[in-house]
């Protein structure tokens, strides 16, 4: 069993090597460029870096179509560069997580080339085949509106192959013991090179039964998740898996494990979608419901909390009415929407650059039960380029300065265009300018991240939702090791006065010490408080005397 639960109080920063920093002027980011920016990430307060795919790939799906699990795409550097990077990160106290994309491979992978070329190939059964096109071939597509089928005919193999994603990403037959053994070898290889774990892509599809006869809701083989975890614990005791699994709350325990023996972490899609509904409607009741429905049952289980990631903002778990309300608020134009279920914008343009709402959203994410996961560029309020197809609009290069190509590259042309026009262009939004401005969003984020790391009640403690008598205000109370922290967020565009009661730690005064300003709050003898929150206002408190600005450390 893992004993070092470092991920409980981590700050995870997701980035694409391709899009972060170009060191050699070829227009594409690389590991040497990333190493130049490690001190920036360390200064921001990042404790774990999550890398999007960087292995050899034709690039049809931004690296998620892997053609060699054991190699580095030469555009990004060499295995030696990767090891230097993990070593440099470790020197700064930062861990490295990498994407593990094993639901499918590229159709250019040697395994698939061998499988399609010969029915007797040892790799034939590594993929899923059918002599006839299954009747349900038009169901279960991950990218509706872009995909047309999940079964494609291969002229060389003279059979149909299954692909839950694009047709150039044939699914691996993960039920095959040889495939499972290969997945463990892949994990072991990268652990040996210095990674601390994996963000496992599309977990429900990895463990689902696959085949022409499978219809409706496929059987999921959860014993696979236990096998993955056991392997990690034997190879490196503190390594973790962060699972991408957009599932219903009643299925959470199946992924975390009946005894907390499967996935260490999962992204909380339920809370994410309800959070955006709260921002759009000023109604936090569905968010409260989602928080209560997703309480982990085990000390080792942890949620990954995020606002935006590299995919679309998936709203598929909301009701149709709720989804339309979020669309109307944050993605009203069809060009902003994707796959009939989501919004493809970055956070800042979704919120129209409203600093109050941006602060509210990130304050909320940093104080929700779980571990915050940030997306590169969101700490400076980067925008998007809707002229780019699908999800590429939010995958543009990092904007470092107001120099050529935003300081990302000296090349005349970059892998995707750096945003250069409008209020989100690199001359307006970049790291260098914001570092010099004490009131910038970047410096606000750095202060909030530092305060979040000092407030370990969030990552470790038990939470309760406190009734404040107003549907637009969320109040969360955490308790851990005789420390009590309280967080209030007002989703309403107008100021709100709330009244509530709290129990202080034994022997301490009924006082709320503000962790972000001098605006403390004094309760009466019965622990009753009255507070006024400005439009989109938020407060971070500890209960007790003024010394409670810092966490008590006794065990």
pLDDT at 112 exceeding the cut of 80: yes
pLDDT at 3 exceeding the cut of 70: no
In the chain, the percentage of residues whose pLDDT exceeds 70 is 97
Mean pLDDT of the chain: 94
CB-based burial of residue 389 (10 Å sphere; 0-12 exposed, 13-18 middle, 19+ buried)? exposed
**Where do the domains of the chain lie?**
6-103+174-451, 110-162, 461-549
Domain 110-162: homologous superfamily in CATH: Oligo-1,6-glucosidase; Domain 2 (3.90.400.10)
Both tokens assigned to 375? 């997306």
How remote is the C-alpha of 203 from its chain's centroid?
14
Both tokens assigned to 308? 């935006």
pLDDT value of position 553: 55
What is the rounded distance in angstroms from the CA atom of residue 79 to the CA atom of residue 75?
12
Q: How many residues does the chain have?
A: 555
pLDDT value of position 140: 81
- For 52-74, write each residue's pLDDT tens digit: 999 999 999 999 999 999 999 99
Q: In CATH, which of 3.20.20.60, 3.40.190.10, 1.10.645.10, 3.20.20.80 is domain 6-103+174-451?
A: 3.20.20.80
Active site residues per annotation: 201, 244
Query: Of residues 31 and 257, which shows the higher confidence score?
Result: 31
Element (H, E) at 36: helix 31-36
pLDDT at 555 exceeding the cut of 50: no
Residue 318 near residue 271 (C-beta atoms within 8 A): no
Q: How far is CA 127 from CA 119, 130, 139, 181, 211, in A?
A: 12, 10, 19, 15, 10
- Phi-psi sector, 535: left (phi>0), alpha (psi -120 to 50), beta: beta
Q: Once rounded to an integer, what is the mean pLDDT over residues 238-251?
A: 93
Residue 167 near residue 152 (C-beta atoms within 8 A): yes
pLDDT at 546 exceeding the cut of 60: no
pLDDT band at 124 (very low <50, low <70, confident <90, very high): very high
pTM of the shown model: 0.95
Encode 56-76: b = buried (16+ Cβ within 10 Å), e = exposed. bbebbbbbbbbbbbeebbebb
| Topology of the domain comprising 461-549 | Immunoglobulin-like (2.60.40)
For residue 141, what is the DSSP state?
A: -
Residue of 306, 304, 207, 323 lying closest to 255 (CA atoms): 207
Paired residues of 512 in beta bridges: 521, 543
Both tokens assigned to 22? 């170009």
Q: Once rounded to an integer, what is the mean pLDDT over residues 19-23?
A: 98
Both tokens assigned to 133? 């096109």
Residue 318 near residue 289 (C-beta atoms within 8 A): no
Q: Once rounded to an integer, what is the mean pLDDT over residues 392-410?
A: 97
């Amino acid at each position: 069993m893992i004993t070092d639960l470092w991920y409980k109080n981590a700050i995870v920063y997701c980035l694409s090597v391709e899009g972060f920093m170009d060191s050699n002027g070829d227009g594409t980011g690389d590991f040497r460029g990333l190493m130049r920016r490690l001190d920036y990430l360390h200064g921001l307060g990042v404790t774990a870096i999550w890398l999007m795919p960087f292995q050899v790939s034709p690039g049809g799906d931004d690296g998620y179509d892997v053609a060699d699990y054991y190699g580095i795409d030469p555009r990004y550097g060499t295995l030696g560069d990767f090891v230097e990077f993990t070593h440099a990160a470790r020197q700064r106290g930062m861990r490295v997580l990498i994407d593990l994309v094993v639901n499918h491979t590229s159709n250019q992978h040697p395994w698939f080339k061998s499988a399609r070329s010969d029915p007797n190939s040892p790799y034939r059964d590594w993929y899923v085949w059918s002599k006839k096109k299954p009747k349900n071939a038009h169901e279960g597509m991950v990218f509706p509106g872009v995909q047309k089928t999940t079964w494609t005919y291969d002229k060389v193999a003279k059979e149909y192959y299954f692909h839950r994603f694009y047709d150039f990403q044939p699914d691996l037959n993960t039920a095959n013991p040889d495939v499972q053994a290969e997945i463990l070898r892949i994990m072991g290889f990268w652990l040996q090179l210095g990674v601390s774990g994996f963000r496992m892509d599309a977990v429900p599809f990895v463990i689902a039964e696959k085949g022409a006869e499978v219809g409706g809701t496929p059987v999921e083989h959860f014993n696979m998740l236990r096998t993955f975890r056991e392997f990690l614990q034997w190879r490196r005791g503190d390594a973790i898996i962060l699972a991408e699994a957009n599932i219903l709350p009643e299925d959470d325990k199946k992924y975390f494990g009946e005894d907390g023996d499967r996935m260490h972490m999962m992204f909380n899609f339920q809370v994410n979608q309800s959070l955006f509904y709260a921002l759009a409607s000023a109604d936090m009741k569905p968010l409260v419901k989602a928080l209560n429905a997703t309480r982990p049952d085990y000390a080792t289980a942890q949620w990954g909390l995020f606002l935006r990631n590299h995919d679309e903002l998936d709203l598929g778990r909301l009701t149709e009415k709720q989804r339309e309300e979020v669309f109307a608020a944050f993605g009203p134009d069809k060009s902003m929407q994707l796959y009939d279920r989501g919004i493809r914008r970055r956070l800042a343009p979704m919120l129209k650059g409203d600093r109050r709402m941006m602060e509210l959203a990130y304050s909320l994410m940093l104080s929700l039960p779980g571990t915050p996961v940030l997306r590169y560029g969101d700490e400076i309020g980067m925008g998007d380029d809707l002229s780019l197809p699908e999800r590429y609009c939010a995958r543009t290069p990092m904007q470092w300065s107001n120099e050529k190509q935003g300081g990302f590259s000296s090349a005349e042309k970059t892998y995707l265009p750096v945003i250069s026009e409008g209020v989100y262009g690199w001359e307006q939004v970049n790291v260098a300018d914001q570092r010099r401005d004490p009131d910038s969003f970047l410096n606000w984020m750095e202060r909030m991240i530092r305060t979040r790391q000092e407030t370990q009640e969030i990552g470790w403690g038990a939470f309760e939702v406190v009734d404040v008598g107003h549907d637009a205000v969320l109040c969360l109370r955490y308790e851990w090791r005789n420390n009590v922290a309280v967080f209030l967020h007002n989703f309403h565009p107008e100021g709100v006065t709330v009244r509530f009661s709290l129990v202080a730690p034994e022997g301490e005064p009924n006082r709320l010490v503000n962790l972000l300003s001098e605006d403390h709050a004094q309760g009466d003898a019965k622990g009753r408080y009255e507070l006024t929150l400005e439009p989109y206002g938020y407060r971070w408190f500890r209960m007790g005397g003024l010394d409670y600005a810092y966490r008590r450390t006794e065990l």
